[in-house]
Structure 1
């Protein structure tokens, strides 16, 4: 059998065992079409707006905080309508993300509650979370300057009688399901798979610098050495001790 013919036969044999993707029979599932009539955002959340404490329990934000956050990120998370479908409004997209952050529910669970597809939630939550970070990081967690580090050092000395200390460093392992083809990169000493949240806090436990997403296999010292924190005046990534003393 000639080489070309062998390739044709091989492709035909391999393709015979491959399951064919089922052709979508409808553009939108019938139960999703009633999102505005029966979805959680358009029913329950609108009722909760009348009850402040319950609204706060649902989102971990009160109504004024929610509206203020929406005003800040709304332009970034707005999407255009198309000829095929109407886009999900920015306030609803923010609700998806905040509900996910408040509960840790799966995308599938949130999708059922709000009557949207799981893949829709999976696309909205990361993009809205990134928009929130971009809008708030400069105001709520700015890169400390030299005078900030000196103030932190003075407070460590006053409150804890600990001199020449810029911050306390520790890591938190966030358990995940091992991504495909990741080997042992995310496997940690606790016997689980995780990504690491590494933070530096000041004398009153406020986060000052954050690094998130490192492989679970790394120690705090290794993650600190390899992190992308900015090299500002008085701050030198590469130290792996708990107390950093750049001024001697």
Structure 2
């Protein structure tokens, strides 16, 4: 794709970041072709998942963009999310000493004028199609079905 702005807008990340994640996640999400069908490539699996996470679009909406049945997307997204967590968990580091915590607070104060802060936490409701027989488990106060995506970041996001 040559239109980098559109690419970034669509997946909420640049090509280099996508390729980096794809490289570490591919072995975990790659599937074998069979006599019955060709497997959906890892890049497409990751793209569908990132689009879902970035927009909260329904599986039925994504099926028209990617030409993958909604039921299949319903299996791809959780599977790919588990693979992303497994592959990238070593990137998450928690400070171990008092000085490291103080350094983070210092960065928040310098960069954002937010004293004594050691992290910024936020969440987003990601719309889903509820699994069969899940009742009201995924039903939220906005009268939609969703899972909550939480993110905790330092002063540099």
Per the normalisation by structure 1, the TM-score is 0.49
Q: Distance in 1 between matches of 2:33 and 2:102?
A: 51
Q: Distance in 1 between matches of 2:69 and 2:144?
A: 30
Q: Contact 2:52/2:58 (CA < 8 Å) preserved in 1?
A: yes
Partner of 2:94: 143
Give SS of 1:174's match.
strand
* Aligned partner (choices 118, 132, 154) of residue 167 of structure 1: 118
Partner of 1:132: 84
What CA deviation, in whole Å up to 9, does each residue of 1:186-221 have, x standing for no partner? 766x8988765666554x374xxxxxxxxxxxxxxx
Q: 1:51 to 1:154 in 2, by over 3 A?
A: closer
Q: Distance in 2 between matches of 1:169 and 1:65?
A: 22
What CA deviation, in whole Å up to 9, does each residue of 1:96-133 have, x standing for no partner? 11222232211011112222211101110111122222
Larger radius of gyration: 1
Partner of 1:234: none
* Aligned partner (choices 47, 52, 55) of residue 7 of structure 2: 55
Q: Distance in 1 between matches of 2:143 and 2:69?
A: 33
Q: Distance in 2 between matches of 1:55 and 1:158?
A: 33
Q: Distance in 2 between matches of 1:103 and 1:197?
A: 12
Q: CA RMSD in A?
A: 3.4
What CA deviation, in whole Å up to 9, does each residue of 1:124-146 have, x standing for no partner? 0111122222222322x223222
Q: Distance in 2 between matches of 1:191 and 1:93?
A: 29
Partner of 1:215: none
- Offset of residue 149 of structure 1: 1.6
Q: Gaps spanning 5+ residues in structure 2: where?
A: none
Q: Distance in 1 between matches of 2:61 and 2:136?
A: 27
Q: 1:148 to 1:186 in 2, by over 3 A?
A: farther
Higher relative contact order (Cα pairs below 8 Å, separated by 6+ residues): 2
Q: Gaps spanning 5+ residues in structure 1: where?
A: 1-48, 207-248
Q: 1:60 to 1:173 in 2, by over 3 A?
A: closer
- Report the count of equivalent residues: 151
- Offset of residue 95 of structure 1: 1.6
1:98 aligns with 2:50: yes
Q: Distance in 2 between matches of 1:112 and 1:79?
A: 22
Per the normalisation by structure 2, the TM-score is 0.72
